A and B are shown apart, each in its own frame.
Chain A
Amino acid sequence: MKILVCISKTADTTAKIAFTPDQKSFLETGVQFIINPYDEWYALVRAVELKEQYPDTVLHLITVGGADAEPILRKALAIGGDAAFRVDLQPISIEQVALSIAAHVKQEGYDLIFTGKETIDYNGSGVGGYLAGLLDWPFVSLATRFDYNGQTATVEREIEGGREICEASLPLVVSCQKGMAEQRIPNMRGIMAARTKPLQVLAAPPEAQQPAISIDHFALPPKKSGVHLIEPGNEEELVRLLHEEAKVI
């Protein structure tokens, strides 16, 4: 079996969100970047487990991004995987990502593709489905469990108020979320091996180079005002706050 795991680089959850002066892009200075948790904890770890179960599995990782995404890719390789690919393109939209990965898949040939259910920056959830569409493969989204018996895959997914269990044949695209696997801390050997594993840079295919959308500007959501807790019995303070601060009475 040949598995491809899609990895994306994203800002750490504690990063301060700010934009460049023209408001057209995210300000990266001082920001800590991490592997998108859905890709790392669920998609990648489940793929590594499958490789442990079926040792002749070939496991590849791919990201679409600039050279600054390579530390993330190496970190992913430290957890597992035989080789990694970076499509050299700074995408601003999901179709650029999906087209880039699809081009690689068509060339390299895979049986199974895992993505995270979303990347925690734009939360678009679009790449998996888009990619399956481009490849004309079945797609199961929001998977919480994935089993493979050598022929068919059994995938569990969350639906409104319950669970859905599907069976699917390969090739297949699955987007993964919590439940698929447990986060793994890479070990020293993995980290050391990651340095010598092949990491190949691919040129972006022509169809992916021009985004179909353009970004007008970004804006932060309005600040939430704080909650004031008032001691029971302190009606005076309540009245004062409603009058002076909330200005509703």
Chain B
Amino acid sequence: METIAPATLKGGEFLIRPSDNIFTPEDFDEEQRMIYDMAHQFIEKEIWPLLDRIDQQEPGLMQSLLDKAGELGLLGAALPETYGGMGKDFITATLINEAVGAGHSFAVAMAAHTGIGTLPILYFGTPEQKQKYLPGLATGAIKGAYALTEPGAGSDALSGKTTARRSADGSQFILNGQKIWITNSGFADIFTVFAKVEGATDKHQGFSAFIVERNTPGLSFGEEEHKMGIKGSSTRQLFFQDCAIPADHLLGEIGKGHVIAFNILNIGRQKLCAAAVGAAKRAIELSVQYANNREQFRKPIASFGAIQYKLAEQAVRLFACESALYRTTQLIDALEKESLAQGIPHEKALLQAAEEYAVECAILKVCGSEMLDYVVDEAVQIHGGNGFSEEYPVSRAYRDSRINRIFEGTNEINRLLILDMLIKRAMQGRLPLLQAAKAAQDELLAPPAALTNIINANSTDFQTLHSQIAQWKKLALLIAGAAVQKFMQQLEDEQEILMALSDIIMDIYLAESSVLRAEKISRQQPDSLYPLLAQVFVADATYRIQQQANEALMAFAEGDELRILQSAIRRFCKVLPFNTKQARRRITAALREANTYCF
């Protein structure tokens, strides 16, 4: 395995600095590959044959499958060995999430258990709380869930009405309120529940987290929700009626519940992307196989250009997303290991590392879920009428994908967060975005240095691709800078502009990840098709960025400023000649030959 230099790019820094060496899936070591294979084998052998029964919520079935995953060590993979876990690093944990991601409702149940169900206790629990719950959570003997959302508090998660009243003798908290949409609630043994401590005077009104055990009197459950997809995952409401829990079930500090809620989300978003990558690989595999087998007009439908376009585009988008996922994962992993080496306790190290890359985590969440929605949508289309039938697995994939754009922070909230976090970091001086925007402005006023190399479909000039992406970064900074100047604090009311800008930034991160990975592979395998995957993504992204940049600009700029910024779009986001049709055909030819996803 090639060794990777320690995390050099800080969070958000990709927007102002080039990156020359990223970690890619080609770098996994032998043990990581074995663990991935094992998790994949588990999904294939134990989950896929039972998907119908899982979706019917056959009593006890999901729990028994989680137990099996626990026996294999999958539930405790990322937990420290002192608490019965396997002590595996973040990259390995991500590989497991990816493999399990193809497991439909099971994937959601397992991700909720190992993520939001377990991590609050791991990262914020007292030693006693950890000792009490983590070993069980690691094996699956205890199953976890997380209750933040309320009927009136969804995206506005801190506005919940659930209360916690301290008992007169101080030995208990008494919870009252209601939670909604709680994954695994049908069988979970413990819940991390957020509530406001009455009488607290801090600025978060005492917003805090508590560990609530299932059989606590005063806790009751609603019926299973009838959902569009992930029908096998248990989702119910929780009702707290004078539900008394011991005072030592407080998790973390009073008034610091938001720290738990938000920090866990960064990791949750990265995990969601990993699951989306796994699910997309499966959907592409099914698409390729079907397209190779199904004949119309006496030819396999995979021989039609329209279908080839879809297959190639599925692969192009997955490849970019996967590249960004493992690039980010290794950055977080490296920072975590660095912190551990400096003596920062395990509990803090990963959380801090994920916080550093919170912008990237939000990007992964949005891109992963939207990539998967594209892939499953085209998978259904490739299957024609059969894709609309429950007899074929892509119809379940289609239904199950949709939730990903909604939970772990809706994609709108995550898009807003990307800009919000970047701007905050710039203001705090953590990230010199303003300086970079100024430099881009100066460059715009100077005569352009032409892009000398023109790419064509037969050879990939990575230098040109990198300079294209570098130009996009300048464009993003210019428009963002102009918008910040124009609206100042009021920019948050201009969500359309923020959405457009975050789309541009996401395309930059994914395109760059895709190109860097393809470049790295090309050094070993000069004739591979990977560069084409990256080039098609860059070509697609060029049009998207042009559109978003124009929309954002027209929304606020006028007169000279508009003219100058429009010239920036023309200059920094040029369409270079590249035959995407030919590239997609070659990509599809490889997929057809392999009869599965092969990149």
Residues of A near any B CB (own CB < 8 A): 14, 16, 71, 74-75, 78, 183, 185-189, 191-192, 194-195
Contacts and interface: CB of A to CB of B under 8 A. Distances in A.
A192 B74 CA distance: 13
Contact of A188 (B45, B46, B77): B77
A104 to B, nearest CB: 24
B42 A192 contact: no
B560 interface: no
A14 B31 CA distance: 23
A16 B73 contact: no
Given A74-B30, A183-B45, A191 B35 contact: yes
B30 A188 contact: no
B594 A188 contact: no
B73 to A, nearest CB: 3
B38 A191 contact: yes
Contacts of B200: none
Contact of A191 (B31, B45, B595): B31
A156 B172 CA distance: 65
A188 B596 contact: no
Contacts, number: 45
A116 B338 CA distance: 47
B30 A71 contact: yes
- DSSP majority for the A interface? helix
Contacts of B594: 16
Nearest to B34: A191
A183 B86 CA distance: 23
Contacts of B71: 187
Most buried by A among B73, B74, B88, B595: B73
15 contacts: A14-B596, A16-B594, A71-B34, A74-B34, A75-B34, A78-B38, A185-B42, A185-B46, A185-B72, A187-B38, A188-B73, A188-B77, A191-B31, A191-B35, A194-B34
A189 B38 CA distance: 12
B526 to A, nearest CB: 13
A187 B73 contact: yes
Contacts of B73: 187-189
Contacts of B35: 188, 191
Contact of A14 (B34, B41, B46, B595): B595
Interface in B216-273: none
A219 to B, nearest CB: 20
Given A16-B593, A188-B86, 10 more contacts: A16-B594, A78-B38, A183-B45, A185-B38, A185-B45, A187-B72, A188-B38, A188-B76, A188-B88, A189-B73
A188 B593 contact: no
Nearest to B76: A188
A16 B591 CA distance: 12
Contacts of B595: 14
B382 to A, nearest CB: 20
A186 B34 contact: yes
A189 B84 CA distance: 11
A87 B64 CA distance: 42
A192 B34 CA distance: 10
B141 to A, nearest CB: 16
A191 B33 CA distance: 10
Contacts of A194: 34
Given A185-B42, A187-B72, A195 B31 contact: yes
A179 B596 CA distance: 30
A185 to B, nearest CB: 5
A75 to B, nearest CB: 6
Contacts of A185: 38, 41-42, 45-46, 72
Contact of A192 (B41, B45, B86): B86
A85 B71 CA distance: 29
B137 to A, nearest CB: 15
Contacts of A191: 31, 34-35, 38
Interface string B86-97: 101000000000
Nearest to A70: B30
A66 B453 CA distance: 45
A163 to B, nearest CB: 27
Contacts of A16: 593-594
A75 B86 CA distance: 18
B74 A188 contact: yes
A74 to B, nearest CB: 7
A71 B30 CA distance: 7
A125 to B, nearest CB: 26
Contacts of A71: 30, 33-34
A194 B34 CA distance: 10
Q: Which 6 A-B pairs have the closest CB atoms?
A: A188-B73, A187-B72, A188-B86, A191-B34, A187-B73, A185-B41
Interface in B62-103: 71-74, 76-77, 86, 88
A185 B86 CA distance: 17
Contacts of A186: 34, 38
